[in-house]
Amino acid sequence: MKILIVGGGGREHALAWKLSQSPRVKEIFISPGNAGTSSIGTNVLLDLQDHQKLIDWIHENQIELVVVGPDDPLADGLVDSMLGAGIPTFGPQKAAAEIEWSKAFAKSFMREEGVPTADFESFTDFATARDYLRGQKFPMVIKADGLARGKGVIIAKNFEEGEQALADMLSKKVFGAAGNTVVIEEFLDGHEISVHAFCDGETAVLFPPSQDHKRIGEGDTGPNTGGMGTIAPVPWVSEDLMDEIRDKIILPTLRGLKKRGREFVGILYPGLMITKDGPKVLEFNARFGDPETQSYMRLLKTDLADIILACIQHRLHSVPIEWEKHYACCVVLASAGYPGEYVKDIPISGLDEAESPNTILFHAGTKQDGPNIVTNGGRVLGATAVGEMLNGALDAAYQSVSEIHFAGMQYRKDIGQKSLYARTA
Ligand code: AMP
Ligand code: GLY
């Protein structure tokens, strides 16, 4: 098979790495890819918004499978166009992906289906939203409806902060059209985890639980990022809890989407808060998480191409999916300034020294510049490692990190710490 992977982050490098191990896979193209993916396949710069041109390129190059990484192309109907042209593609169509690209849709869907989530109301008008907010108990959470790169969520400690967030979104349009509607919801207290499930429209198979670290600063402080590091599995998440998540969240969501003619094929990835009243959905994603996928690909034993084809062909039940019994982790190295403005084109050293039999560096914002590899994004690299014990995996990943240098490099030194010694939810 010749495969096209859409995207250029650590997630896509990890997917390319895993797919390249499949005996089914002959050649991989990645668009746009990064310096890491170019050692596995061919990076190609394609206009992902010009679906007809993309279809022509795919036919010319005899691509037999497209795997979509990021959220934007899903919201843009890329999968619909590919399937319309008869090209096998992994990822949900636009209507199913709405569970990610519209928080207002996701919230009312959950309310209708009885999927546990924070209490909420949606608004399009500033004055009405402000009046509603005035009577609430704080903290409250204000969310832009659309895709906003993880920045469209404000936890308001008091009315004034909430009012400011509403004004930014609804009046000043700081998130553009993504903020035309806002969701105001109840603040949930608890521990946050990421759950992923392979889905073929009807059947869902859950991955082991994982945990991202979304804030830039240690101890979960500072602004939200795309994700600064992950562990999988999460030691305190029991099998019973995963069964509850499957039965109360994943399966009702798949059924509810199908009932609405929005059959979901791809990865359903809810961000969950494990509260004292059980798991509740913070948000749905309709794709692989990043950096979760960088940890997950180190644990997946089964051929990923087999699983993806089974999903697309609606026969996921026919493929047994196996995971390594040990732990994996990923520590993200980011550019100075990230998640705000950051500089690029900084030379990176130590990449060879950072690799060991146990560690793999997945590239995110990197590019080849003559003989050098230089930074080319906010999140630059993900150091991944595995271990029988979580702390062994973490030690190995941080050993790898200690070899890498680029000016202004920042990373969190506490990835996994909050779950390392926790025993129970
Ligand atoms: P989201 O993009 O909806 O996942 O929100 C980004 C981050 O904000 C989440 O990862 C949580 O840490 C936090 N968050 C979102 N919604 C809530 C909520 N209702 N209560 C507490 N924290 C939340
Ligand atoms: N890990 C955060 C995300 O993929 O959205």
User: In whole angstroms, how far apart are CA 176 and each of 145, 147, 162, 180, 183?
Assistant: 11, 10, 18, 7, 15
Of the pLDDT bands very low, low, confident and very high (cuts 50, 70, 90), residue 425 is very low
pLDDT of residue 83: 98
pLDDT in tens, 254-301: 999 999 999 999 999 999 999 999 999 999 999 999 999 999 999 999
DSSP 300: B
pLDDT in tens, 377-389: 999 999 999 999 9
Length of the chain: 425
Q: How far apart are CA 393 and CA 149, in angstroms?
A: 29
128 CA from centroid of ligand 2 (Å) = 31
Q: Token pair 């919801």 is at which residue?
A: 185
211 CA from centroid of ligand 1 (Å) = 13
Pick the more confident residue, 334 or 224.
334
Q: Which amino acid is at 67?
A: V
Query: From the CB of residue 117, how many other CB atoms can be counted at a distance below 10 Å?
Result: 25
165 CA from centroid of ligand 1 (Å) = 15
Share in percent of the chain as helix, strand, coil (round to 5): 30, 30, 40
- Report the Cα–Cα distance between both ends of the chain, in Å, rounded: 43
153 CA from centroid of ligand 1 (Å) = 7
> 234 near 210, Cβ under 8 Å?
yes
285 CA from centroid of ligand 2 (Å) = 8
Please identify, by atom number, the ligand 2 atom nearest to the C-alpha of residue 226: 2
389 CA from centroid of ligand 2 (Å) = 24
* Mean local confidence (pLDDT), 343-363: 96
Query: How high is the mean pLDDT of the chain?
Result: 96
Alpha helices for 20-66 (secondary structure H): 51-60
pLDDT in tens, 64-95: 999 999 999 999 999 999 999 999 999 999 99
Q: How far apart are CA 175 and CA 169, in angstroms?
A: 6
Domains defined along the chain, listed by start: 2-92 (3.40.50.20), 125-180 (3.30.1490.20)
pLDDT of residue 421: 74
Helix H, strand E, coil C: the string for 190-220 is CEEEECCEEEECCCEEECCCEEECCEEECCC
Nearest Cα neighbor of 140 from 151, 129, 150 is 129
Nearest Cα neighbor of 425 from 202, 299, 276, 309 is 276
Ligand nearest to the CA of 228: 2
Strand partners, 32: 7
- Taking 90 as the threshold, does the pLDDT of residue 150 lie above it? no
* Mean local confidence (pLDDT), 118-134: 97
Q: Token pair 């560096």 is at which residue?
A: 361
- Taking 50 as the threshold, does the pLDDT of residue 341 lie above it? yes
Of the pLDDT bands very low, low, confident and very high (cuts 50, 70, 90), residue 423 is very low
Is there an atom of ligand 2 within 6 Å of 292 CB? yes
Q: Is the omega angle on the peptide bond into residue 233 within 30 degrees of 0, that is, cis?
A: yes
* Mean local confidence (pLDDT), 346-375: 96
Is there an atom of ligand 1 within 6 Å of 100 CB? no
pLDDT of residue 344: 96
pLDDT in tens, 187-220: 999 999 999 999 999 999 999 999 999 999 999 9
Is there an atom of ligand 2 within 6 Å of 416 CB? no
* Mean local confidence (pLDDT), 400-416: 98
Q: Which residues of 363-390 are buried (b: 16+ CB within 10 A; e: fewer)?
A: bbbbbeeeeebbbbbbbbbbbbbbbeeb
Of the pLDDT bands very low, low, confident and very high (cuts 50, 70, 90), residue 422 is low
Is there an atom of ligand 2 within 6 Å of 289 CB? yes
Pocket test for ligand 1, best of 155, 213, 274 (most atoms within 8 A of CB): 155
What order do you get walking across the sheet with 153-156 strand by strand? Answer: 120-123, 182-186, 140-144, 153-156
pLDDT in tens, 30-62: 999 999 999 999 999 999 999 999 999 999 999
Hey, what are 267's tokens? Answer: 């990865």
Pairing type for strands 265-275 and 366-369 reads: unpaired
Please identify, by atom number, the ligand 2 atom nearest to the C-alpha of residue 288: 4
Hey, what are 259's tokens? Answer: 């009932």
Closest Cα to atom 11 of ligand 1? 282
- Taking 90 as the threshold, does the pLDDT of residue 121 lie above it? yes
Of the pLDDT bands very low, low, confident and very high (cuts 50, 70, 90), residue 329 is very high
Task: Show the beta-strand stretches assigned E in 234-378.
Answer: 265-275, 278-285, 327-334, 359-363, 366-369, 372-375
How many percent of the chain have pLDDT more than 90? 96
Is there an atom of ligand 2 within 6 Å of 22 CB? no
